[in-house]
Amino acid sequence: QKEVEQDPGPLSVPEGAIVSLNCTYSNSAFQYFMWYRQYSRKGPELLMYTYSSGNKEDGRFTAQVDKSSKYISLFIRDSQPSDSATYLCAPASGGSYIPTFGRGTSLIVHP
Amino acid sequence: EAQVTQNPRYLITVTGKKLTVTCSQNMNHEYMSWYRQDPGLGLRQIYYSMNVEVTDKGDVPEGYKVSRKEKRNFPLILESPSPNQTSLYFCASSSYAGNTEAFFGQGTRLTVV
């Protein structure tokens, strides 16, 4: 089993839809939970960062972490075509802060 | 502007011909790493460096070398490239004073024929 599991998709939704992207992980030492967004032909960029369990909201984006079930989610409200990208979850332990990346989920938002 | 710069962006080479992909960051970050990204496999770490003269293997180090003689530079060396090293390569840097954001370069698309 990989340390971080993520469905590669693609996930195709109409503009305005609520999108739910998910990851599971196996390492109990993970304390920091990041979501990176990667546009085609670009390097990943940090989108959201959460420490431990709970929710964090930033505009149309909400990151949610449930450490008891080792489940990470990213919600996108009112999705836009510009949200079309690959989303990578990347948890890290408190000791090294080195992220372990999931395979990424490809999201397509069509007008 | 804070950035990680990789060169070249695109490279086609032949099997066995040594090559170096350069990576430079201007943020005074201690931590740097190299990843390869392949369809269906995601980002896999090749090597990383915690600081100058300190390097360690990631998940897929075979066939690669790195060096960290200066804080800002972290070149990736392929001594004898093979077709299975055809991939998209990313360099990343971060500071670990509680900062978990990794900054990525634009990527190097390498084709080995």
Instruction: Find, among A3, A26, A22, A97, the residue nearest to B92 by Cα.
Output: A97
pLDDT of residue B98: 52
Helix (H/G/I), strand (E/B), else coil: A83: helix
C-alpha to C-alpha distance for B22 and B5, rounded to whole angstroms: 8
**Gap from A93 CA to chain B (nearest CA, Å):** 10
| Order of all β-strands in the sheet with A54-58 | A4-5, A19-25, A71-76, A61-66, A54-58
**Sequence-distant (≥ 6) Cβ neighbours of residue A59 within 8 angstroms:** none
Tell which A residues from 40 to 99 touch B, by Cβ distance under 8 Å: 41-46, 49, 88, 90, 92, 96-99
Residue B42's pLDDT is 86
Could you tell me if A2 and B40 are in contact, meaning their C-beta atoms sit under 8 angstroms apart?
Answer: no
Q: What is the DSSP string of A12-52?
A: EEETT--EEEEEEE--TTEEEEEEEEE-TTS--EEEEEEES
Q: Compute φ and ψ for B98, nearest 5 degrees.
A: 80, 0
Model confidence over B81-112: pLDDT tens digits? 999 999 999 999 988 655 678 899 999 999 99
Nearest to B100 among A8, A45, A49 (CB): A49
Total residue count of chain B as it appears in this document: 113
CA distance A87 to chain B (A): 11
Interface test with A, best of B21, B41, B48, B100 (most A CBs within 10 A): B100
Residues of chain A predicted below pLDDT 70? 1, 95-96
How many Cα atoms occupy the beta-carbon half-sphere of B78 within 13 Å?
Answer: 24
